[in-house]
Structure 1
Amino acid sequence: MAFKQRVFSGVQPTGNLHLGNYLGAVVKFVALQDLYDCIYCVVDMHAITVWQDPTELPRATREVTAAFLACGIDPKKHIVFNQSQVTGHAELAWVFNCVARLGWLNRMTQFKEKAGKDRENASVGLYAYPSLMAADILLYRATHVPVGEDQKQHLELTRDVAQKFNNDYAASITGHGFGEAFFPLPEPLIQGPATRVMSLRDGTKKMSKSDASDYSRINLTDDADTIAQKIRKAKTDPHPLPADEKELAARPEADNLVGIYAALAGRTRADVLGEFGGAQFSAFKAALVDLSVAKLGPIGAEMKKLVQDPAYIDSVLADGAERARVIADETMNAVKDIVGFIRH
């Protein structure tokens, strides 16, 4: 059957959003609004797979929402909400826990990384996280998901879950008039020159909010002076910028800064090197400061304004949740019929 083209993606409310989140995810969310019906979710249920301070979680949830809005996501044309307001996420996740296989979850590299050596002490939620992620996407029967490289494995599992559900309940799906397949097999959307933004202090490590040094990242809430200072202090090597993109492979810090410039400017790395190849880092960093402040400064200022009005943010989330619930309820009613649950 033909599925309605729809995008779903979510961001965890677990602290400061930074340049990596913006270039790797949010900027793509904004662009996709012109092509698809979009559902963007603050995934607060995912956040508690590791302990969160319950006095801090609401603030972090509102901050992510503010970032969505400040970056240009339109909550009237599209849906913006927080996951816990729509119970269908948890309901469908349980059905998918009964569809997904232990072997599939055992292969998930992100659980191994997050649980570390003491896996016996990790939460069941952290282990079953991919089932909830599959439910997030398929609750809206989304056809496309913008993902970073580190989430591709989870999307592949979502496709496996959708396929197995369609196969396991094929007769019931057909019998209830849903055609040959109830869930789509969602496609990944990986775009742009900087899907992985690395630390400003170490070009071999991903930019992260958990890094001890605040100089390793540019936070979306940083003001112009802070952005400029962090870029000027960013680690480089002693050589001028190369003219050939292939030479960046052995120079991670140069590759990272060129990639950031390219992504912020909407250009290719080759194009950036065509302009700055042979230049010293001091000249390139000055240009990167100007570009970063021009692009990110207004976002930070708008975020600060929005977070000072929590009632407005909460109204956006409530309206989005109400609209999301309409789609989610339709899916869950159908799933309950297909699985064989009695409902009134």
Structure 2
Amino acid sequence: MKRIFSGVQPTGNLHLGNYLGAIRQFVALQHDYDCIYCVVDLHAITQWQEPGELRDQIRQVAAAYLAAGVDPQRCIIFNQSQVPAHAELAWIFNCVARLGWLNRMTQFKEKAGKHREQASAGLYVYPNLMAADILAYKASHVPVGEDQKQHLELTRDIAQKFNHDYGTEFFPIVEPLILSAAARVMSLRDGAKKMSKSDPSDASRLNMTDGPDEVAQKIRRAKTDTELLPGPDVLGAEGTLGEEARKARPEAYNLLGIYAALSDRSWTEVLAEFEGQQFSHFKQVLTDLAVAVLGPMGEEMQRMAGDPAYVDGILRSGAEKANAIAEPILRDVQDIVGFLRP
């Protein structure tokens, strides 16, 4: 069976955007692939993390996987730092990757901003660690969105250069698994801003830890406009929503987009259903749907937050399974490179 590797950073509270953009897709993929899902805590510390909060956030990401429906009997769930092969293989890849490749990585430029000289060396080379994450398991496919395509290309470059330099075909050339475009999830208080874990207003986002009452309250209080809901005629030829339309009514299209994503329906279907209706009616329908989909996950995450030993056990068991795959691959790499081992 084809193998997938993917992960989520344990930085900040997970919200609806994280669920729709990644975790929900993880659940769907587990039925057709051999899936390895990681909490990438080594990546998290490329920028400062308070240690106690980091431990809680590692557990929260693992709990989100479980609450959303990732099956630990079917998939491997673990945190990256429990498997030494990630860091050891990353060092070897630091010596394979070229500076010119890393200099082209746009995410480093975005995260470092104007203070590049003060950024950690880890932030600069973390694409090499991402390559190690994938190749430590000889994954065949990686689910990617637009923001990760460049890093996957680097992984392919590293695998090809390693194979070429050492005269082997050891590492696979990983293929991207292009996910369907995730809903653009914006703030519930300002439809022109992305939903963000850093927004000071908790009312601006639907956290994955929110229970049914919190979900309902936030949807009911979400900002809307006073016009009737639009119909499918606002869509482009391919059934997509244009930027001009979105900018004209950002709050309306944000909530309609959330409804479309949670109900797994197209813009055309949703706009046809609610065309000409009052927002008050639509909001109630959206509230009922969001409570039904997100409420049980929030309750389960809250339950697991009170039982850290359960989550730790899942991570420990997953790390044992991950080590069983990665250790032999790392040993083979060490032999290929020429290291002397006991």
**What is the TM-score normalised by the length of structure 2?**
0.92
Q: 1:36 and 1:339 mapped to 2: Cα distance?
A: 30
CA 1:134–1:285 in 2, change beyond 3 Å: closer, same or farther?
Answer: same
Distance 1:193 1:131, change over 3 A: closer
Q: Which residue of 2 aligns with 1:111?
A: 108
- Alignment partners' CA distance in 1, 2:185 and 2:321: 33
| Equivalent residues in 2 for 1:268-287, closer than 5 Å | 268-287=266-285
**1:155 maps to which of 152, 156, 164:** 152
Amino acid at match of 1:76: Q
Q: Is the 8 A contact 1:134 1:155 kept in 2?
A: yes
1:331 aligns with 329
Q: Say if 2:263 and 2:289, in contact at 8 Å, map to a contact too.
A: yes
Q: Which amino acid aligns with 1:148?
A: G
Counterpart of 2:254 (choices 245, 253, 256) is: 256
TM-aligned CA distance change 1:193 to 1:288, over 3 Å: farther
Q: Return the match for 2:15 from 18, 37, 54.
A: 18
Contact 2:212 2:296 (C-alpha < 8 Å) held by counterparts: no
Q: Is the 8 A contact 2:159 2:171 kept in 1?
A: yes
- CA–CA separation in structure 2 for the residues paired with 1:99 and 1:203: 44
Alpha-carbon offset, residue 237 of structure 1: 4.2
Alignment gaps of 5+ in structure 2: none
Q: CA deviation at 1:152?
A: 2.1
Structure 1 residues 33 and 200 mapped into 2: Cα distance closer, same or farther (>3 Å)? same
Distance 2:146 2:187 in 1: 16
CA distance in 1, matches of 2:289, 2:203: 18
Change (3 A) 1:257 1:156: farther
One-letter amino acid of the counterpart of residue 28, structure 1 = Q
In 1: Cα distance, 2:94 partner to 2:181 partner:
36
Which amino acid counterpart does residue 205 of structure 1 have in structure 2? K
Answer whether contact 1:13 1:47 (CA < 8 A) is retained: yes
Name 1:242's counterpart in structure 2: 230
- Pairs within 5 Å for 1:52-71: 52-71=49-68
Secondary structure at the counterpart of residue 78 of structure 2: strand
Q: How does 1:1-344 map to 2 (within 5 A)?
A: 5-169=2-166, 171=167, 173=168, 181-192=169-180, 194-244=182-232, 245-246=235-236, 248-249=241-242, 250-251=245-246, 252-344=250-342
Distance 2:241 2:252 in 1: 7
Deviation at 1:260, TM superposition (A): 1.6
Deviations 1:60-103 (A, max 9, x none): 11111111111111112210000000000001111111111112
- Per-residue Cα deviation, 1:103-152 (whole angstroms, up to 9, x for no partner): 22112221112111111111111111111111111111111222332222
1:38 partner SS = strand
CA distance in 1, matches of 2:190, 2:175: 32
- Aligned partner of residue 248 in structure 1, secondary structure: coil
Instruction: Supply the distance in 2 between the matched residues of 1:157 and 1:112 (Cα, whole angstroms).
Output: 16
How far does residue 207 in structure 1 lie from its aligned partner after superposition?
2.1
Query: Shift in Å at residue 217 of structure 1?
Result: 1.3
C-alpha distance 148-254 of structure 1, shift in aligned 2 (>3 A): farther
| 1:7 counterpart letter in structure 2 | I
Unaligned segments of structure 1, at least 5 residues: 174-180
Structure 2: distance between partners of 1:199 and 1:104:
35
Please report how far the alpha carbon of residue 193 of structure 1 lies from its aligned counterpart in structure 2 after TM superposition.
Answer: 5.0
The one-letter amino acid paired with 1:66 is: A
Where 1:56 maps in the other structure, the secondary structure is helix
SS of residue matched to 1:225:
helix
Distance change >3 Å, CA 130–CA 211, structure 1 → 2: same
Alignment size in residue pairs: 332
Deviation at 1:215, TM superposition (A): 2.3
Q: Which string of whole-angstrom CA distances, capped at 9 and with x for unpartnered residues, describes residues 148-206 of structure 1?
A: 3222222222122222222222x2x2xxxxxxx22222223333453542332343433
Contact 1:134 1:161 in 2 (8 A): yes
Given that 1:7 and 1:38 are in contact with CA atoms closer than 8 Å, whether structure 2 keeps it comes out as: yes
SS in 2 for 1:10: strand
